[in-house]
Copies of this chain bind each other. A is one copy, B any other.
C-alpha cells in the first residue's frame, strides 16, 4: 500500500489520509479535489503529501472516494476506468443503492468495495480532518461478494488498522435503516434549528437561554448542505417514509397534550427512555 489516492480531501477523506499515513509512514498520499484551495489547504496541513489528477490513478494501490454522493455517481466510473487491476477503490457514501447500481456492469466492478463508515462530525473541509476518527466505529460494507477476494482482504486490513468493526448488509437494507438512524436525525435537527431561528429574531435571546440540551439536539444542523442534499435526493423514498412516521409521532404527542392526557404523555416518554440501553452500546 505505497500509493494512496484520496478523492475529496475534506473531513472524511482527510481523516482517512491522516490515519493511513500514521499506519503506513512509507505510503505517499495523493489528493484529488475539484476545489484547488482545499488541495492547497490539505497539503499545508500535512493531510496529503502531493496534489494529483484523475489521470495519475493508474499508479494507485488504494483509491478512496469521499465526495458528495451525487459526485460519486459521476467520479466512480471514471476512477474505475483509470486504475490498474491491482487497485482497490472504496467509497464512504451515506447511500449505497444508487452507487452500487451505477457501477454494477463496470468491467472493473471487482476493484470496488462499497463502504459506509459511520463516522464524522458536523464540521467539513480539510481543516476538519482528525486522527482517530474511525477508531471503534462501524463500517458497513455492501455487496462484498462483488469485490475481488484479494482486494477485499486489502481493504479489510486497512479498516482493521484504523480500528473499525465491519458489518455486511445489502444496499437496500443499508439505505432503509440508515434513513432512520442518520438521515432523519439530520432533518429533525435542521428543522429544530429553523423553528427556533425563525421565532427568535433577537439572537441574543436564543444564545442566552439555550443550554447544552438544545446545543446537542441541533448540533447536526451545522452539517454541510452540499453533502446532505444529494444524500436526501438519492435516498428520497426512505427518507420521506421516516419523515412521515416522525411527523405522525409528533402530531400524536401534540394531540395528547391538546387532550390534556398527560398520563399518556408520560408513557410516551417513559417507553422511549429505553433508548438509554440502546445508546449505551454506541461509543
| A residues whose Cβ falls under 8 Å from a Cβ of B | 118-122, 137-138, 140, 167, 177-178, 180-182, 184-200, 203, 205-223, 225-226, 228-230, 232-233, 236, 239-240, 242-247, 249-251, 253-254, 257-258, 260, 262, 265-279, 281-282
Contact = CB atoms under 8 A, between A and B. Distances in A.
Given A199-B180, A222-B276, A266-B229, A185 B214 contact: yes
A258 B229 contact: no
Contacts of A218: 185, 275, 279
A190 B138 CA distance: 24
Nearest to A122: B213
A272 B221 CA distance: 7
A264 to B, nearest CB: 10
Of A190, A217, A251, A270, chain B has the most CB atoms within 10 Å of the CB of: A217
B257 A209 contact: no
A270 B180 contact: no
Given A197-B272, A222-B275, A250-B250, 7 more contacts: A138-B211, A180-B196, A215-B282, A221-B269, A225-B273, A229-B266, A240-B257
B282 A140 contact: no
27 contacts: A120-B213, A121-B212, A140-B209, A181-B211, A182-B209, A182-B211, A185-B213, A190-B253, A194-B268, A197-B278, A199-B245, A207-B282, A210-B282, A213-B219, A215-B279, A219-B279, A222-B276, A223-B269, A225-B273, A228-B269, A229-B262, A232-B262, A240-B254, A243-B253, A243-B254, A247-B250, A247-B254
B210 A182 contact: yes
